[in-house]
Every structure is written in C-alpha cells, then in structure tokens.
Amino acid sequence: MKALIKVGYACNENCTFCHTQDVRHIQGDAAEIERKIDRAAALGHSMVVLSGGEPTIRPELQRWAARVARAGLDFGLVTNGLMLAYPHVLDPLLSSRLRYVNMSLHGGEAKIHERMVRADSWEAANAALDNLNGRGLQLTINCVVTQHNVEHLDALVDRSLRWPDAVVKFSACEPKGGGLHLMGSLVPRLRSATQRVAAAISRGRALAGDRGPRFVHGGFPLCMLPGLDDAYDDLRTHGFRTMVEIGEPDLLPIDDANTIKPEVCEDCRLAGACPGLFAEYHRRFGAEELQPVTHGTRGNAFDWVFEGRVPAEEDTCPLLVDGVAPWDRARDLFVRHRGKVGRYRAEGRDFSDAQLTRIKHTTGQVYLDASRKPAPDDFPRDLVKLTRSEACRGCSEELGCTGMFEPVMEDLFSRDDARVREIVAGLTGDVLDVGCGDGPYDDVLAPAVSAGAIRWVGLEPNAAAVARLAQRRSWGQVHAVTAEDSDAVLAEMRFDHILMLRSWNHLSDPGAAIAAVVPRLRDGGTLLVVDNVAFGLARTPAQRARNRRARPPLEHWRNDDAAAAERCLLSAGLVVIERREVTPETANQWLVHARVGCR
C-alpha cells in the first residue's frame, strides 16, 4: 500500500512532455514533506514514494529516506535516475529500505532519449539502471511515447534486455504541461501509437522470454491494444492508494479525473479496467479511433476485501476523527456493527471508479457475504444488505466521504420479489418464458400449469440447463434455442404473456431477442422483464480466495438497469405499465412490465 508524495517540481532535466513544466519554480519545504511522510505512516501505508519534479536533487533526500525507514515503511522514488548513477547516493538509500524505483528512459539510443529530455543524460541514466538491476527492487523503466520516439521503440526494447529485473512500460503522452503546449507536434495519434506499442511489446516478449524484462503499457485505451489486457500498468497496479501534491493539506485517493470514457465506451466489456481517453485528447480528436469490445461476458459483482479493524469510540465516527480525505469514496468501505468498525477495499478492475461509486452511493447495492460458498446463490440467505449509516445524514462531509455502512436486518430480496411473484401468479393463457434455465419461479408457475390456468413454453439456449430442468420437473415444453432462433420451434404459436425472469442481462443482444418475440404477443399481451443490477460484496480474504479458486463463470453480457430495458421495449412499440427501480432502500432487482398497444 503505497503513498506518492510530491516534493516539488524543479528538475535537472527539461522533458518536452513534462506535466509540471509550468510550475517548476515551486518546491515544497522540508517540514511539509516530513508531515506527509508521518501522515502516510499513520494511515497504515507500507511504502512512501517520493516524486516531483525530481526528488533526488533535494538535499533532504537521505534524511527523508531515513525518516521513512524509521517509521517501519519501505521507500521508493519516481525519478529520472541520474543521481542514482552515483553509488554514494544509491547505497545509503538502499540501506534506508529503497524497494521501488520508477525511472525514465525514453529511447534505445542517446539521440532519441536526449532529444526528449533536453539534457545530456543518456550515460548517467544507463549507469543508474546498471546500478539498480539485480538489487531486489521493484524496478520500472518508463518510456513516454511521443512523436519523437514512436518509430524507435524497438531500439528501447533491445536496449532493455540488459536489465532483466525491470518492467519496461510504454506510457501514453498526456496533454498536460509541456504535453499540452506542444500537443500538435508531440502527442501521436492513438491508432499509430498503439500499433507501435503492441509491436514493441510483442518483440520484447519474444526476445526476453522467461528471462525478463517484462513489457507493459499504460494510459492507452485497452480496446486499441487487443490481447494485451494483462499488460496494463498504472499507479493502482503498482499498489498506490494515495498521493499528494505540494500545498495540498492531506493525502488523497488515486483517481482518474484527467480521463473520460465517451458514450461509445458504455457497452464495452473492457470499460471497467480501461483508462479511457485523456480529456484534452478527446476534445481535440474525438473518439472515432476507439474500437469498443461489446462481445463477451462480464462480471456482475465485485469484492471489497476485509483489511482490518478500525479503532472507534462509541457514537464517534472514526472517519471524522482521522480525516475523510485519504479514503476513496468508491473503493474503501467502512462497516460498523455492534460497536466495531471494519475496513474493506475493492482492488478489482472489472468496474471503473465511476461505476463503483454509482453502485455504492447511487443504487446502494452493497452487501455482506454471510455464506461459506464460492459464490452466493441464495441471496436472501447468503447476503446481508449494508446501507449508509443514519449518522451520515446531514454530516458536513456526507457528499465527499466514503461513508460509514451498517447492516440492514431485513430480507429485502424476498420483500421486493413479492411483486414479481404476484404478477406471475396472476397470469392466464399462453406464456412464453425466455431464458428459463434456472427456473427461479417454478414454484409459482407449476401450480398454474397443473390447474390449466396457463400453457407454458420455455426457451433456454443452454443445453445443460435444459437437461437439469427435465430432471426436476415434468411439465411444459422447453426448446434449446435462443429467442432470435426460435421461429422454427415456435412455428405459428402466439402468446398472451412473455417472461424474461432474470435472463435479460444474459442475452447477447436484447434488441434482437425482443424483435424476435414481441410479434408473437397477442393484442393486449404483456411482457415482464426482471433482472439485477451490479452489486458489491464485503468479504474476508478467505472468502475471496475461495471464490477465486472456484472460478465461477461469467455469464452476464451486460449489467442493464430498468431504464435501459425500458428504452429497448419502447423502441419495439410496447407501452410500459410498471417500472420498479433499484435504490439504496431496495435489493438489486428491477422490474419493467409492458404490454402491446393497439395494432
């Protein structure tokens, strides 16, 4: 768990793309840096990493490193590395628990590198890497990809083979500071840059094999580097939790506020992990280069994993006592129960920060996993709803704080599902059940079929699910086809009602499914869609490990809400007669009930 502390913005290089080019005159005073080091230790961080500007030119460097070590923390640097070419600088830092170095090298030859950093520093940078390799460090060689070096990445790959302990990272050039001032001549178009980066990573992997170094990328949209999801690298993958600039009074969570995800990204399967586009790049060039990956399954849940207990006095909020600023509104979760407070953390990349925030604070779908199963399958028994504490209401920090959550001792799943059961129980006539494989409402449908109130037909594309249905019941017809391919088996059948009961988000193309089945509805017929939004689970490390060992399959193609389903039904000419949303006061199940108008 790392904290990144900026010590000032002066530097002994003058990189063309430097983020802090406009503030190089600002330096933090030593006391400010020392307060922030102490704060990181108090917050439970395991490492303090100093950055700038260039931290190694500060005369206080060794003193700061020793202070970090005395606090029981490891030490790290984000640096151009020039001072680390000198053993009398590097060796004391190693003695002060230097364990992490993220160092710049922007080309495989002096001409390219020095053109970008605008300093005579090639030899020193290489000497520093020679000194750092083999010292047991987490060592990253960071190459910012610009128009100056984009055609020369292979040379850096070849050069880096001499440092097998390193990770070589190709980073997108952010239009900020120097990168913004020189954007037209410095920032390459993404299509060109990602093609070169993909080729360089492929070359590096082929040459290095298992001997190292590893080759990764950061800041580029994942859809433009197909097959290289596993090579994505950023501050979070490095274990950073917080950072602080000069003048900021407290450490703040790592965020992605400098990027956006345009509308075209909404249905992309990679959107959760993807950094998106730099906002200024999008403003200048738009999103036409993006190639969203809409085909494929995704997760519908994520984990907050227990990290430890938080000291808390009765009727006192520990967040207010300790300060709310360092805690991530989306990824940190505090749960109070019976006078104790536990802290949980979500590190997964299936959902973006914006999605996590919406799940936690807007739809309010936060649950404690009370089961011992790899994956909960009986929500009323397995999950306990967590909701924002009443003590948060009206607090001056309410809208910016990660919040305190408490368990709700009520079965919200059964309560909210009662309306679905009421509608299903009231059906008469011919019923088509789309995606019926799990049979969640068999106990309601079976008596109606036996009594002759309904004539039931099911569609289920999963042959194994169809076989399971046949083993446990003897009523109804089930056809092992998708809705889109059902014309042959349904022939001239018409229906009074169509059900999609927790199957909507399992459809690869809901629009196509609706277009295929809605024409089979008689005038006045109804269509009931019920499904779940994404949710988060508070789990112990053992529960998390059990889930990972089991590797439950991903079955959702989307995580639509009621509004998304309603738009699809309206476009098919249906009239919505009832819609039930998910809110913090409900379980995670939504409902849209529609009917055919006059035709």
Lowest mean pLDDT among 37-46, 138-147, 150-159, 307-316: 307-316
- Nearest 5°: phi and psi at 275? -75, -15
- pLDDT in the model for residue 9: 96
Q: What pLDDT, in 10s, does the model give residues 320-374?
A: 998 999 999 999 999 999 889 999 999 999 999 999 999 999 999 999 999 999 9
In the block, tokens 């277009």 appear at 515
Average pLDDT over every residue of 237-244: 96
Q: Is the pLDDT of residue 599 over 70?
A: no
Under the banding of pLDDT at 50, 70 and 90, the label for residue 464 is: confident
Contact 124, 149 (CB under 8 A): no
Average pLDDT over residues 377-402: 94
pLDDT level of residue 598 (50, 70, 90 thresholds): low
> Cα-flanking dihedrals φ and ψ of residue 594, to 5°?
-135, 165
567-583 in b/e form (b: 16+ CB < 10 A) is: ebbeebebeeeebbebe
CB 447 within 8 A of CB 428: no
Q: How far apart are CA 28 and CA 12, in angstroms?
A: 16
pTM of the full predicted structure? Answer: 0.92
CA distance 226 to 481: 31
**Alpha carbon distance 67, 62 (integer Å):** 9
Q: What is the DSSP letter of 27?
A: B
| Cβ neighbours around 149 below 10 Å, total | 24
Give the pLDDT of residue 469: 83
Least confident residue range of 50-59, 65-74, 347-356, 468-477? 468-477
CA-to-CA distance for 283 and 269, rounded, in angstroms?
24
Q: In what order do the strands lie in the sheet with 138-145?
A: 214-218, 167-172, 138-145, 98-104, 74-79, 47-51, 2-6, 240-244, 252-253
Of the pLDDT bands very low, low, confident and very high (cuts 50, 70, 90), residue 207 is very high
| Amino acid present at 446 | A
**436-439: long-range contacts (C-beta < 8 A, 24 or more apart)?**
436/460, 436/469, 436/478, 436/499, 436/501, 436/503, 437/462, 437/465, 437/466, 437/468, 437/469, 437/503, 438/465, 438/502, 439/469, 439/472, 439/473
Smallest CA-to-CA distance from 229 within 173, 276, 287, 274 is with: 274
The candidate with the shortest Cα–Cα distance to 214, out of 172, 160, 134, is 160
Centre a 10 Å sphere on the Cβ of residue 549 and count the other Cβ atoms it contains: 8
All residues at 6 or more sequence positions from 485 whose CB lies less than 8 Å from its CB, including other chains: none
- 256 — phi, psi (to 5°)? -125, 40
The phi-psi region of residue 302 (left if phi > 0; otherwise alpha if psi is between -120 and 50; otherwise beta) is beta
Alpha helices in 348-486 (DSSP H): 353-357, 379-382, 412-425, 442-450, 463-472
Q: Cα(49)–Cα(564) distance, rounded to whole angstroms?
A: 44
Distances in whole angstroms, Cα of residue 483 to Cα of each of 372, 473, 511, 513, 524: 36, 22, 11, 5, 21
Q: For 278-294, what is the mean pLDDT?
A: 95
Question: Is residue 476 very low, low, confident or very high in pLDDT (cuts 50, 70, 90)?
Answer: confident
Q: How far apart are CA 273 and CA 257, in angstroms?
A: 15
- Rounded to an integer, what is the distance from CA 222 to the centroid of its chain? 13
Using CB atoms within 10 Å of the CB of residue 271, give its burial: 0 to 12 exposed, 13 to 18 middle, 19+ buried: buried
Tokens, residue 471: 């083993």
SS3 for 232-261 is: ECCCCCCCEEEEECCCCCCCEECCCCCEEC
Report the share of the chain in percent with pLDDT over 90. 89
**Max intra-chain CA distance, the chain:** 89
d(CA 416, CA 585) in angstroms, rounded, equals 10
Residues 397-424 pLDDT 10s: 999 999 999 999 999 999 999 999 999 9
- 527-548 pLDDT, tens digit per residue, is 999 999 999 999 999 999 999 9
555 — pLDDT class (breaks 50, 70, 90): confident
**pLDDT grade, residue 473 (50/70/90)?**
confident
Contact 10, 51 (CB under 8 A): no
Cis ω for the linkage preceding 53 (within 30 of 0): yes
104 vs 598, more confident: 104
SS (H, E, C) 503-560: CHHHCCCHHHHHHHHHHHEEEEEEEEEEEECCEEEEECHHHHHHHHHHCCCCCECCCC
At 313 the pLDDT is 82
Bridge partners, 537 (sequence order):
303, 367
Cα–Cα distance measured from residue 107 to residue 152, given in angstroms and rounded to the nearest whole number: 7
Name the strand (E) or helix (H) holding 74. strand 74-79
Domains in the chain, CATH or no CATH each? 2-285 (3.20.20.70), 301-411 (no CATH), 413-533+551-596 (3.40.50.150)
**How many CB atoms are closer than 10 A to CB 169?**
21
User: How confident is the model at residue 410, as a pLDDT?
Assistant: 94
Q: Which of 118-132, 269-283, 406-420, 544-558 has the lowest mean pLDDT?
A: 544-558
| pLDDT tens-digit series, residues 220-230 | 999 999 999 99
Q: Each residue of 129-158: pLDDT tens digit? A: 999 999 999 999 999 999 999 999 999 999
Nearest Cα residue to 11 out of 83, 111, 105, 86: 83
In the sheet that holds 454-459, the strands lie side by side as 477-479, 454-459, 429-434, 495-501, 521-532, 589-596, 574-580
